[in-house]
């Protein structure tokens, strides 16, 4: 039995994948109406065409939803609030499924769990995976980062399912930074394509974006190999090149000068600001993240941002 808190696209997709491997799943929705509708229709409008297996039970009753292993599938900026309002989560294994850096504290999801519930066992599940792909049973590989190796091994066994291959690491810092920072670079790539700057510009942004992701991760003590794995390079590749990505699509709209639905979860916008604040405090150079923040804040035009990046002093790669 596994609990998933947050019945959005990703939480529901994970619930479906675990259920298909024979696990009973309780999916918690914060709205009683949403839980009832999902139970009645066996569907979630965020995942069109996906049927909930019988072994997924949706509830808005928090106490009913809890098991020893709990996946947290809410947006990054909502994670702390969820943990603070539910102290009964303490003592359990809490696996963050969100990708981002918290505004205000500049902490990633594992650090936020430690901060609010120090008695819990924190972990993070991250990597290249669109909810729609997971829910349809398409092959996907993820990284599970757990500080204690033996706990990681047993969780890995528990979560692995036929189409969901799960790799393991103890480097939670690298895993959470890879997943968080790639969204910022995906916004930059979307902006470049939307503004008509071309595929070569996108390749340059992905590569130099990857360099700044690694710089930041290293400064925070991550293992360089983690960033070259699924949570960093893998997810960067997926998110910067697919219209399925909300971060990339948000960037596309910015680049084209179109409006974007503000209710859609776009983790990279807040994360760009939080990561830049942390980078400045640590004297880490993150020019692409800086340009994204300046564009989001309205202080920089897109062409000027590209010119600014191109006019940086020549350096060794």
Ligand X SMILES: O=C(CO)COP(=O)(O)O
Residue 124 makes CB contacts below 8 A (sequence gap 6+) with 95, 96, 97, 108, 109, 110, 144, 145, 172, 175, 176, 179
- Three-state DSSP at 165 gives strand
Q: Which of 182, 214, 223, 280 is catalytic?
A: 182
Cβ nearer to ligand NAI, comparing 45 with 162: 45
267 is in an annotated binding site: yes
Q: What is the DSSP letter of 232?
A: I
Cα torsion at 160, 130, 126, 163 (round to 10°)?
10
**Chosen residue from 81, 87, 104, 196 binding ligand NAI by CB under 6 A:** 81
Residue 182 falls in the annotated catalytic set: yes
- Indicate the residue among 98 and 197 with the shorter CB distance to ligand NAI: 98
Binding residues with ligand NAI: total (CB under 6 A): 24
Query: Which contiguous run of DSSP H or E holds residue 145?
Result: strand 140-145
- Is 161 annotated as ligand-binding? no
Count the residues in the chain: 317
From the list ligand X, ligand NAI, none, which binds 11 (C-beta under 5 to 8 Å, kind-based)? ligand NAI
Annotation-wise, does 4 bind a ligand?
no
Site track for ligand NAI across 56-75, x = CB under 6 A: -----------------xxx
Cβ 92 vs Cβ 105: under 8 Å: no
8 A C-beta contact, residue 69 and residue 25: no
Binding residues for sn-glycerol 3-phosphate: 99, 127, 129, 182, 235, 245-247
Residues interacting with ligand NAI, by CB under 6 A? 6-11, 30, 46, 73-76, 78, 81-82, 97-100, 129-131, 265, 267
Binding residues for NADPH: 10, 30, 99, 131, 246, 264, 267
């Amino acid at each position: 039995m596994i609990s998933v808190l947050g019945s959005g696209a990703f939480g529901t997709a994970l619930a479906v994948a675990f259920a298909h491997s024979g696990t009973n799943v309780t999916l918690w929705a914060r709205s009683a109406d949403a839980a009832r509708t999902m139970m009645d229709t066996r569907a979630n409008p965020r995942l069109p065409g996906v049927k909930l297996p019988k072994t997924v039970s949706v509830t808005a009753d928090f106490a009913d939803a809890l098991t020893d292993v709990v996946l947290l599938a809410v947006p990054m900026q909502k994670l702390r609030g969820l943990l603070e309002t539910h102290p009964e989560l303490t003592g359990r294994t809490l696996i963050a499924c969100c990708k981002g850096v918290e505004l205000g504290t500049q902490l990633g999801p594992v650090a936020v769990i430690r901060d609010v519930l120090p008695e819990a066992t924190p972990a993070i599940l991250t990597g290249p995976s669109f909810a729609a792909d997971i829910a349809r049973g398409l092959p996907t590989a993820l990284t599970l980062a757990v500080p204690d190796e033996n706990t990681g091994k047993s969780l890995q066994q528990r979560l692995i399912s036929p189409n969901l291959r799960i790799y393991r690491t103890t480097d939670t810092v690298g895993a959470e930074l890879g997943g968080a920072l790639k969204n910022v670079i995906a916004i930059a790539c979307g902006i470049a394509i939307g503004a008509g700057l071309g595929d070569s510009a996108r390749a340059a942004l992905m590569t130099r974006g990857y360099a700044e992701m690694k710089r930041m991760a290293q400064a925070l003590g991550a293992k360089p190999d983690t960033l070259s794995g699924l949570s960093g390079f893998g997810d960067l590749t997926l998110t910067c090149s697919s219209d399925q990505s909300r971060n990339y699509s948000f960037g596309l709209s910015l680049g084209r000068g179109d409006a974007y639905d503000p209710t859609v979860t776009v983790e990279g916008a807040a994360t760009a600001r939080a990561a830049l604040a942390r980078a400045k405090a640590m004297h880490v150079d993150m020019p692409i993240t800086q340009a994204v923040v300046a564009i989001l804040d309205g202080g920089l035009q897109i062409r000027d941002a590209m010119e600014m990046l191109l006019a940086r002093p020549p350096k060794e790669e």
